Structures are given as structure tokens and as C-alpha cells.
């Protein structure tokens, strides 16, 4: 079966790790108890291990993979089941790619997709979290979120690939969201707000469970026990403590689990930055019921 990928898509620092923690606990642990070693069941598409395929296909192009117009030719080839290295007809993959057309190639295609969960977080909080994660000033982080050409580096240990480091194309925060959510997909898609994952986790869990049952007839055993354990073991303080004890390889520039709250932006952004972001992203902020501080 070609439709084998279930995407967990989001703009960076939008809670994708928490979503992965919830899903691996739901699907890959009988008790529903989260631990970091379970995250291996949901990996990111854009990891360095996958780049060798490009070298096998076209060595000349491989030495130009730092150029998006070259890399874009191979993104869907990486998504073919045999190239991903698994036999199952259903596998979760995380991505931060925007689903735009680059050099006439979209990032992904319905022929590979079983379903999508897209995760949205208040851009004002994303701005604060991205600043901390990337060691940028708040002003530079504001510029990044509003940059239509914004990119991040491919994931994993890139030391062996310098200076050929490929890019993950994001575009701006609002463009990223639109690239995944306004398309009329012929596959199931569920949009979740990060803030609901934090403050309405049990409600969101029931929504996720219903989504998988209604669309795939997947029934979760011991559902009430699992939900109770997931809620407990994916609390911010629990995961932060686990990181302190065991470490977390995805951490950059300090601990990965830093605050885990919404509305951090109120004390971190100045009024001009708030007005600028709200003006830039007003349509999506209103659509997903984020409160604005100004009348737009």
C-alpha cells in the first residue's frame, strides 16, 4: 500500500515533541506511560541518514543539496516506503517542512499520506521559544517568524555534510500553517492547538482517539487507564525531570523543556513587537480564537 505516512506537521517550537510523546504512549506502550526511549517510534523525516539515498541516485546533485531547488527534487523520493526502510502500511513521521511547491515539487503528496495532524501554537509564544532555542534576540526571532523565505537546517549530526547542509523550508508562520491546513486533502487531517495539549490534554486525547477510530477503525485497549497515565507522564514537570536525569538529544542551547506554558510573550515581547506580530498574523489568530491585544 502506497499511503503509508502519517504526518505530524508543525512550525518549529509548536509542541511537536509533546504530541509525539502522547502518541507513542498511546500506541507503543501497553500502560500508556511515556518514556524518552519511546520517541524512536516517531522519527523526523529530515534526518541525515536519509541523505545517502540522494547520493546513490545522483552524486552530482548530492553535492548541491544545500540548494533547495536541488533538494526539492528528492523530497518525495525519500518518502517512498522502501526508501524509508520499513514494511508497515502505517508509520508516523514528524516534519517541519512547509508543504509548498519548490521548483515544481511539493514537499509531499497524497499518494504517500495516510493522515495528518497539524499542530498550531500562538506565534507570540513561538517567537519567545524560538528565541531561546536558537539563541536569537527577540527582535531577530520576530523577523524569522515573518520571513517568507525562512529555513532551518536539516536534522541530525551534520558535521560530515559541511558545507552541504540541506535546508528545511518553513516560510513564515502563517504561510506554514496555510500550506498544510487550507488544502482540500483527500486524507484525514486533524488540527490541534498546542495550548489545548497543555491545558485540555484529556479532552484532546479523546479527540485523537476518536479521530483514529472514525478514520482507521483503530480501537485503543484499556483506554481510560492509558489516558490517565498519559496525562500524568507527559506533564511538563515530569518530562523536564526526565530530561535532567536522562538527557534529551534534541536539546539545543540549554534544556529542551524550558517553560511549557502559554502566554509567555506578555512579559517577553514589547508593545511594538506584539502589534507587529498580531497585525501580520491576524487572520489565523482570529480563526483559531487567539486573543488579540489590539483592535484589528
pLDDT tens-digit series, residues 105-122? 899 999 999 999 999 999
Which pLDDT score is estimated for 254?
52
Residue 46, classed as helix, strand or coil, is: coil
**Strand extents, DSSP E, 11-102:** 43-44, 91-95, 101-102
List pLDDT tens digits, range 13-63.
999 989 999 999 999 999 999 988 899 999 999 988 888 899 899 999 998
Domains of the chain with CATH codes:
5-123+147-237 (3.40.50)
pLDDT band of residue 260 (cuts 50, 70, 90) is low
- pLDDT surpassing 50 at residue 155: yes
Residue 189, classed as helix, strand or coil, is: strand
List pLDDT tens digits, range 183-193.
889 999 999 99
Which pLDDT score is estimated for 36?
85
Percent of the chain with pLDDT over 70: 90
Q: What angle do CA 269, 273, 275 make, to 5 degrees?
A: 115
- pLDDT surpassing 50 at residue 102: yes
- pLDDT surpassing 60 at residue 251: no
Cell numbers 488544502 label which residue? Answer: 183
Q: Write 281-284 long-range contacts (CB < 8 A, 24+).
A: 281/123, 281/173, 281/174, 283/174, 284/120, 284/174, 284/177, 284/178
Largest Cα–Cα distance in the chain?
Answer: 55
Lowest mean pLDDT among 46-55, 210-219, 255-264: 255-264
Residues with Cβ within 8 Å of 35's Cβ and at least 6 positions away in sequence, in order, are 29, 233, 242
Which pLDDT score is estimated for 179?
97
**Cα 272 from Cα 266, distance rounded (Å):** 12
Task: Share the mean pLDDT of the chain.
Answer: 90
Residue 91: which of 115, 107, 110 has the closest Cα?
115
Cell of 73: 527534487
24 close to 33: Cβ distance less than 8 angstroms: no
**Cα 178 from Cα 288, distance rounded (Å):** 12
Q: 5 has which bridge partners?
A: 91, 113
Amino acid at each position: 500500500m502506497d499511503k503509508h505516512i502519517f504526518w505530524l506537521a508543525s512550525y518549529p517550537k509548536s509542541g511537536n515533541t509533546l504530541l509525539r510523546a502522547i502518541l507513542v504512549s498511546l500506541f507503543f506502550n501497553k500502560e500508556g506511560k511515556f518514556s524518552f526511549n519511546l520517541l524512536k517510534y516517531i522519527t523526523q523525516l529530515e534526518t541525515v541518514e536519509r541523505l545517502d539515498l540522494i547520493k546513490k541516485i545522483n552524486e552530482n546533485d548530492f553535492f548541491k543539496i544545500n540548494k533547495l531547488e536541488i533538494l526539492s527534487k528528492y523530497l518525495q523520493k525519500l518518502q517512498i516506503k522502501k526508501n524509508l526502510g520499513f514494511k508497515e502500511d502505517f508509520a508516523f513521521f514528524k516534519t517541519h517542512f512547509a508543504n509548498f511547491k519548490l521548483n515544481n515539487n511539493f514537499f509531499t503528496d497524497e499518494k504517500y499520506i495516510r493522515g495528518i495532524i497539524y499542530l498550531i501554537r500562538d506565534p507570540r509564544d513561538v517567537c519567545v521559544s524560538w528565541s531561546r532555542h536558537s539563541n536569537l534576540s527577540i527582535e531577530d526571532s520576530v523577523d524569522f517568524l515573518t520571513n517568507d523565505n525562512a529555513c532551518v537546517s536539516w536534522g541530525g549530526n551534520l558535521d560530515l555534510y559541511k558545507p552541504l547542509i540541506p535546508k528545511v523550508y518553513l516560510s513564515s508562520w502563517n504561510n506554514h500553517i496555510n500550506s498544510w491546513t487550507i488544502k482540500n486533502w483527500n486524507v484525514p487531517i486533524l488540527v490541534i492547538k498546542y495550548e489545548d495539549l497543555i491545558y485540555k490534554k484529556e479532552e484532546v486525547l479523546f479527540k485523537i482517539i476518536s479521530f483514529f477510530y472514525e478514520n482507521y477503525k483503530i480501537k485503543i485497549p484499556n483506554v481510560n487507564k492509558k489516558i490517565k497515565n498519559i496525562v500524568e507522564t507527559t506533564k511538563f514537570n515530569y518530562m523536564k525531570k526526565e530530561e535532567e536525569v536522562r538527557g534529551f538529544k534534541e536539546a539545543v542551547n540549554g534544556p529542551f523543556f524550558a517553560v511549557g506554558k502559554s502566554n509567555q510573550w506578555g512579559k517577553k515581547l514589547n508593545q511594538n513587537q506584539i502589534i507587529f506580530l498580531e497585525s501580520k498574523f491576524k487572520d489565523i489568530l482570529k480563526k483559531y480564537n487567539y486573543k488579540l491585544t489590539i483592535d484589528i
